[in-house]
Amino acid sequence: MGALVLEDVVPVARVVLPRLELSLCGGDLAEFDEHAVEPGLFAADPGGITSHPKLAVRPWRPPGMETAPALPWAAAMPHLLGHVAFGTPLPTSYLPSLPPGAGGAWPATPARTSPEDAAATRAARTPRVSGSRANGSPVPKRPKRKFRKSVTLDPDMVAQLGLKPGKNVIAFSFSSRVWGRQEVQAHAYLWDWNAKIVVSDVDGTITKSDLRGHVAAMVGKDWNHEGVAQLYNNIRDNGYQLMFLSSRAISHSKGTRRYLEKLTQDGETLTQGPVMLAPDPLSTALYREVVVRRPQEFKMRCLRTIRELFPADWNPFYAGFGNRETDTVSYAHVGVPAGRNFTINPKSEVYAATTRHTKTYSLAGINELCDEMFPPVARHRRTRSGAADLTHCDAFADSNYWGKGFINIDDSELP
């Protein structure tokens, strides 16, 4: 082995070694202090402690400071080892913190690097002119490409899930280098190929206003349209499927679902259905909803994706309820008839796209006409040949079959 020459050691990075606290709490990080490892226990069996499967660590903080987050040893070890060996930066929570009122900085230890790395570092520090070509013309910046991970199941994978008709709970698990194995649960709904879907907005449609209804539910106040739960339950009882569509960010999924599950009016709990939210960060959702006011961009794309799940000759969207013109445009985009494209205003008045200026209903009035506007749907089944055995058709519903058509009158016959 050759001798180490002093000139070969070039300090180009700073290594800051944090002081750690040890515990054998395992995955229950909330009980870190109850299972803390004392210095005597570690000195008696250091090998057993470091290889213990329940070992967890967290940065030490002086008394009076907020406790730092703990991590399993398997998740923290790569960060610490890479920091000591190669000078890679530590997570912010693992950097040593000074006690309140103290000044200065903690001492750091220089890291040893190879001459090649030192030369590369010096080259990187050498000032150079950027943003222009040799002739002085500006160099156009390349747009940053953003990638989003997604998982799409093919029909064979979906069949292996063993879904049952109606609501199913599925779980998606993944591994994180920092937090270890994580699991996310979601709801998957299995409907017939010829299901009839009634789409409803949430903010301003079930609630009386976009913002106040959302805040009122958080403080235990009822700011919902009176009778909306009974109306949606009657629509469900007639054989239709309810789907809730909102441009809220996906981070609000848990709160939105909890709000819908607990909505009760006159002893009736609102029927449940899929809750479709925008797969975007909160800032993006607010910008689209509040600044540019184009929530229909997400809603139209979402409804179009759901439409593609059904046969090409079958439109599953039967009706829609919203509170803005953007909702009307979104529902019309996927073929919801204008006569069943409803808008609910803050006064709990309901009107269709065809009766906007001529006729308005109350929610109670719509509920009384529920069987006429939403005729009971008979169960469909397939024959042995695969053809659909339809025992009910909209063309023969009472409201359509017995309804009188318009009489064509020539202009010359008018007085």
pLDDT in tens, the chain (415 residues): 444 333 333 344 455 667 788 888 877 777 888 888 888 888 888 888 888 888 888 888 777 777 777 888 888 888 788 777 877 777 766 665 545 444 433 444 444 445 555 555 555 444 444 455 555 556 666 667 777 667 778 888 888 888 999 999 988 887 877 778 888 888 899 999 999 999 999 888 888 765 554 554 554 555 688 889 999 999 999 999 999 998 888 888 888 888 888 888 888 899 999 999 888 777 777 777 666 677 788 899 999 999 999 999 999 999 999 988 889 999 999 999 988 999 998 888 898 888 877 888 888 888 888 988 899 986 544 443 444 444 445 555 554 555 545 556 666 666 5
Determine the Cα angle at 222 with ends 256 and 253, to 5°. Answer: 5
Element (H, E) at 303: helix 296-307
3-state secondary structure of 82: helix
Alpha carbon distance 406, 370 (integer Å) = 23
Alpha carbon distance 371, 378 (integer Å) = 13
Element (H, E) at 167: strand 166-176
CA proximity to 263, closest of 253, 272, 254: 272
Q: What's the gap between Cα 302 and its chain centre?
A: 13
Which position has the token pair 């213990």? 52
